[in-house]
Amino acid sequence: MTSILNADLHCHSVVSDGTLTPEALAARAKTNGVALWALTDHDEIGGQQRAAAAARTLGLHYLTGVEISVTFINQTVHIVGLGFDPENPALQLGLSQTRGGRKQRAMDMAAGLAKVGIQGAFEGALKFVVNHNLISRTHFARFLVESGVCRDTNEVFRKYLTEGKPGYVEHRWASLKDAVTWITQAGGVAVIAHPARYKFTANQEFALFTEFKGHGGQGVEVVTGSHTAAEYLTYADTAREFDLAASRGSDFHSPDESHTELGTLPYLPGNLTPVWELLLDRIQQAPDTSPETPVSMGH
């Protein structure tokens, strides 16, 4: 299977912190020439049926997806799961536990913001929430932009929602072992999301990759909207060093906020194993494709 494939295996809908429905994302993926798509909402698979159905209607190949929040050496790390069975009970329970603390965390964030004079942030953020099980910092960011406190969501994160800032609340997410195990035992492949975003030392990053592999993780995002072109090369090397398959995904959230559009990233470097090669039997085929060519070429 080729690495020259317009696969976009990382994006968010209104089921987590995106602003488009799964159906609108599917249509956008189709318009942008995506051949293989996955919706990867944060800690939540409630959009999977809708995404898969829309993909089928539009003629996109589809993989189930999720992005699980993990705490590793006191930092938040994201683990993408692809190609799992969404009916798997242990995965569903694990995700529901991971989401569980979000409401209290949001109330604590609002309390922190109130201390610096920003009132009503919990209710304000909720106005942007579609799935009430999944309130995130992004919803607070949208409220602070709407109410004129900041110009854009980036500024909100910088001034209010990151470590040491008034709206930041320490939070303990899933363990690396649990997240990888939930995904793999549900038949999926676990992938380290956007590794360049973490602020680990070289030793800590080595520990992340080593432990991830030890738990059964098989992939790493190399080409992502969160990486620079130089970081594609760095993490292509890391993928080879750790014998991990490589993934590609925009991390698209919103037409108004995201700088990387669905399906518009460079292809994966050719000397890597694309993660979809590990998932051929998990891909929901677009109806018009013959079984001999499980995934059509990008163009």
Chain residues in the site for ligand AMP (CB under 6 A): 17, 42, 69, 136-138, 153-154, 157, 253
- Least distance CB 67 / Mn ion (angstroms): 5
HEC profile of the chain: CCCCCCEECCECCCCCCCCCCHHHHHHHHHHCCCCEECCCCECCCCCHHHHHHHHHHHCCEECCEEEEEEEECCEEEEEEEECCCCCCHHHHHHHHHHHHCHHHHHHHHHHHHHHCCCCCHHHHHHCCCCCCCCCCHHHHHHHHHHCCCCCCHHHHHHHHHCCCCCCCCCCCCECHHHHHHHHHHCCCEEEECCHHHCCCCHHHHHHHHHHHHHCCCCEEEEEECCCCHHHHHHHHHHHHHCCCEEEEECCECCCCCCCCCCCCCCCCCCCCCEHHHHHHHHCECCCCCCCCCCCCCCC
| CB nearer to ligand AMP: pick between 62 and 157 | 157
- Least distance CB 163 / ligand AMP (angstroms): 11
Contact status: 41 vs Mn ion (CB under 5 A): no
Binding mask 201-220 for Mn ion (x = CB under 5 A): --------------------
Interface with Mn ion (CB under 5 A), residue from 78, 139, 227, 248: 78
- Least distance CB 193 / Mn ion (angstroms): 5
Contact status: 251 vs Mn ion (CB under 5 A): yes
- Least distance CB 194 / Mn ion (angstroms): 6
| Residue 154 touches which of ligand AMP, Mn ion, none (Cβ within 5-8 Å per kind) | ligand AMP
- Least distance CB 24 / ligand AMP (angstroms): 18
| CB nearer to ligand AMP: pick between 138 and 238 | 138
| Site of interaction with Mn ion (CB under 5 A) | 17, 67, 78, 193, 251
